Amino acid sequence: MKKEFVLKRVLVGIIMVILLLATLSAGWVLTIDRDYCCGCETCVDICPVQMLELHEGAVRIIPGMEDDCLGCEECVDACPYYGAVLELEEQ
Ligand code: SF4
Ligand code: SF4
């Protein structure tokens, strides 16, 4: 009886670790419709990992930082064109 209980606890622990690893490894994809961007740089200033920059009048992801997004949505919430310029999706 005690052995079964311990085995169940171990199995639950393994499942929890797998779920945690899956959550931590989930990536985020930020897409930008540069046609609607006014270049205000609000998102550039607010991004905690500084992965955005202004390029030729509109925002873009700094090349090489595509996988650095935390999925915090700070940029999406701060953009005055909410939903029209920045869109965040879980990979
Ligand atoms: S979601 Fe957060 S980390 Fe990702 S680009 Fe926007 S502000 Fe930066
Ligand atoms: S906050 Fe919006 S409009 Fe301003 S630079 Fe960023 S994406 Fe462009």
Q: What atom in ligand 1 is closest to the CA of residue 70? A: 3
Domain ranges of the chain: 28-90
Task: Give the model's pLDDT for residue 20.
Answer: 59
**pLDDT at residue 25, as a whole number:** 55
Distance 15 CA to ligand 1 centre (A): 29
d(CA 84, CA 37): 8
Among protein residues, the one whose CA lies closest to atom 8 of ligand 1: 47
Kindly state the greatest CA–CA separation across the chain: 69
- Decide if domain 28-90 falls under CATH 3.20.20.70: no
Q: What is the best residue among 74, 77, 88, 90 to mutate for testing ligand 1's pocket, by most ligand atoms within 8 Å of CB?
A: 74
Distance in Å, CA 6 to ligand 1 centroid: 42
**Interval between CA 23 and ligand 2 midpoint (Å):** 28
Write the pLDDT tens digit of every residue in 23-65: 555 799 999 999 999 999 999 999 999 999 999 999 999 999 9
pTM value? 0.76
Tell me the pLDDT tens digit for each residue of 1-27.
688 877 888 877 776 766 655 555 579
Residue pair 86/30 in contact (Cβ under 8 Å)? The answer is: yes
